[in-house]
Amino acid sequence: MKFETPATTNPIDRLKVIGQPIHRIDGELKTTGRAMYAYEWHDPNTPYAYGYPVGAAIAKGRINAMDVTAAKSAPGVLAVVTTLDVGKRKKGKFNTANLFGGDEVQHYHQAIAVVVAETFEEARAAAALVKADYAEERGTFDLSAERRAAKKPDESQEPDTAVGDFEAAFRSASVTLDQSYTTPDQSHAMMEPHASIAAWNGDEVTVWTSSQMIDWWRSDLATTLGVDKGKIHLMSPFIGGGFGGKLFLRADAVLAAFGAKAANRPVKVALPRPFVINNTTHRPATIQRIRIGAERNGKITAIAHESWSGDLPGGGLETAVNQTRLLYAGANRMTAMRLVTLDLPEGNAMRAPGEAPGLMALEIAIDEMAERVGMDPIEFRIVNDTQVDPEKPERPFSHRDLIGCLKLGADRFGWSNRPKVGSRREGDWLIGMGVAAAFRNNLVLPSGARVKLDRQGVVTVETDMTDIGTGSYTIIAQTAAEMMGVGIDKVAVQLGDSRFPVSAGSGGQFGANSSTSGVYAACIKLRDAIAQKLGFNSGDAVFENGIVRSGNRSVPLAEAAGPGGLVGEDTMEWGDLAKTHQQSTFGAHFVEVGVDVATGETRIRRMLTVCAAGRILNPITARSQVIGAMTMGAGGALSEELAVDTRRGFFVNHDLAGYEVPVHADIPHQEVVFMAETDPMSSPMKAKGVGELGLCGVAAAITNAIYNATGVRVRHYPITLDKLIGGLPDVA
């Protein structure tokens, strides 16, 4: 099915199951420990062996030789496979850094060997005995030091945009701002590390892994191993978080496959936590310069956003100016992104790549500008709202209710009680409130599914879609139940298996809308098959309460299925609606903080996020996404930073003790409100993404609240105590 014209009324609009607060159908499996994560697949009759990775101890250079004699003769060792043994490999389409193979070292902790042993402990002990002789080369690791060497990337990355005459408009503006902001390298820090089990059967390999994108991994694993894609069976039904870190094939799957081949045994490989930090990908640091010019009435006349980020040779931008191209009006505008070559581990997508770090800067700048023009920051945003793409005014937004989010949030949060800067104190605490807009584009990808109806009237959905903790199982079951007119208890969902139709996968907050649309398309096929079998006109057939009706005939679905059952399969594809209309999601974040007047310690007191993201398919799972995102934003504001050793070229704080994510005590009170809306331009589901939106802008709202509390304006994340303490009032 191709979605080419705006959705009209369809069976989803019945909202008997869709839109209902249904608890996740995989919840019991997870809370009872029966959901099998990648490393946990265990067949008692299979003699699993354990692989432990060895990482490069240099950031850049070549390996002259490796000595594995001691490792090979260590207790329990079955095989040692080195990067020199397997030779240079072709790189997967989605990989920038080489995962394994050849003598070139591109970054610290690049995998250079895997040691396979009878037990995990034996593998780990032997891995410490692997020796490498390196020819180390000088690398570049410091974004700010290398900024002058930044280059404009090729046009496919859309580095520049310009409308009108920014420079002239900025010069003549009544009120101006010109500030720089920085965001650090960040780690996905998902709970479950990257892990894979590989088992060969002749020239075919089955890999249980932890992947957001089954088909991308399958293709890239085939390329990297040099085997036919058809010989690879990938399974990833349960995933302990990804946040973008599992979008692309990683070394664990490659090492497990090579290790299993060499040991002639199924092999399990989990990346130790330090490898998650330095062996995989991270969100790249940015330096951002924002200039805004406005009239005295608050209307923006000029806006410019420039961003610098780094990556390995051949890598891509952190697209931090994305939202500035779309969020606020202004006749004269420019954006530019420049790329620095760094020899740090690969930079790549992390939850809301582009908008997340971009809004960390832009929404502080907007707060600063509102103060300069003497307006409330909500009013300033409302005055500069736009209903069309400000760079291409002929393109309207499909649906945009940023103003509604700001107003509703202000009301719910008690914004009218916001103190004057630095004026509210409770004991040792300076109290302040902050606001920021949330914005994230709504993407769609083709998504396929197969839906089966059996003689018991049970509907089974099969798709290679993944559930990274987001609730895919549940919303897919809801979609099939709604479409087929059955209760959710009559639906079974099978995900994350490469034998199933290729789906959108989980990324870019496109998963929920895209994958349920694929299920919608497959259900239409199944409804047609049922109607045709019964001799019904499929246009008249009504599917309701486990029965299909047409005119005065009605047949239970179980009976319609017959002994052989019926199947519908289709892929949702997308026409031009995303080109003719700008599809985005919107929101508003409100935060109240207390800052200790003596120590500069910031405590978040309460948070509210209002989201306008089309139809909410399930308010429980959607809320769960947003509160997780708000929590991630709190980490981004206050604690998360990969510390770069600019001499040796690696991230020093490579564990969850040194890379500090928020804990329960950091997040006292969160509220999430969804605007009641649908977007018929987005899909037959009329839904959009919400999982990344919830992160976009949170950190700036916290920063703005800290400013309101203290009068200290911080522009460099994270906001640690040292950045506040010098500006706090004297404590007598």
Rule CB under 6 A: which residues touch ligand MOS?
212, 242-244, 247, 349-351, 353, 507-508
Residue, CB closest to ligand MOS: 244
Phi and psi torsions of 371, nearest 5°: -65, -40
Q: Are 32 and 26 in contact (CB under 8 A)?
A: no
Quick one: 507 or 636, whose CB is closer to ligand MOS? 507
Record the tokens describing residue 273, joined without a space.
């936590």
- How wide is the angle at C-alpha 78 spanned by C-alphas 73 and 79, nearest 5°? 85
Task: Return the closest-CA partner of residue 245 out of 559, 642, 552.
Answer: 642
Q: Which residue in the list 122, 346, 482, 692 is annotated as catalytic?
A: 692
In SS3 terms, 107-152 reads as: CCCCEEEEEEECCHHHHHHHHCCCEEEEEECCCCCCHHHHHHHCEC
Half-sphere exposure of 64 (CA within 13 A, CB side): 5
Quick one: 22 or 687, whose CB is closer to ligand MOS? 687
Q: Which residues pair with 441 in a beta bridge?
A: 584
Q: Which residues pair with 111 in a beta bridge?
A: 55
Phi and psi torsions of 186, nearest 5°: -130, 155
Task: Return the closest-CA partner of residue 105 out of 526, 650, 681.
Answer: 650
Q: Are 482 and 542 in contact (CB under 8 A)?
A: no
Rounded to whole angstroms, the Cα distance separating 624 from 427 reads 34
Q: Is 669 exposed, middle or buried (0-12, 13-18, 19+ CB in 10 A)?
A: exposed
- What Å distances lie between residue 124 and 74, 107, 194, CA to CA? 11, 22, 17
Quick one: 188 or 381, whose CB is closer to ligand MOS? 188
Quick one: 267 or 622, whose CB is closer to ligand MOS? 622
Long-range contacts of 491-494 (CB under 8 A, 24+ apart): 491/458, 491/459, 491/460, 491/461, 492/458, 492/459, 492/460, 492/461, 493/25, 493/460, 493/461, 494/237, 494/460, 494/461, 494/462, 494/463
Segment (H or E) for 377: helix 377-383
Close Cβ partners of 398 (under 8 Å, ≥ 6 residues apart): 577, 581, 582, 583, 679, 681, 682
Rounded to whole angstroms, the Cα distance separating 402 from 645 reads 41
Work out whether the CA dihedral 172, 173, 174, 178 comes out positive or negative.
negative
Segment (H or E) for 699: helix 698-710
List the beta strands (DSSP E) in 313-364.
Answer: 332-341
4 catalytic per annotation: no
Bridge-based pairing of strands 160-163 and 332-341 is antiparallel
Work out whether the CA dihedral 323, 324, 328, 331 comes out positive or negative.
negative
Rounded to whole angstroms, the Cα distance separating 285 from 161 reads 22
Residue 2: CB minimum distance to ligand MOS, A: 24
Record the tokens describing residue 662, joined without a space.
């928020």
Record the tokens describing residue 698, joined without a space.
């949170």
> What letter does residue 420 receive in the DSSP assignment?
P
Residues recognised as catalytic: 692
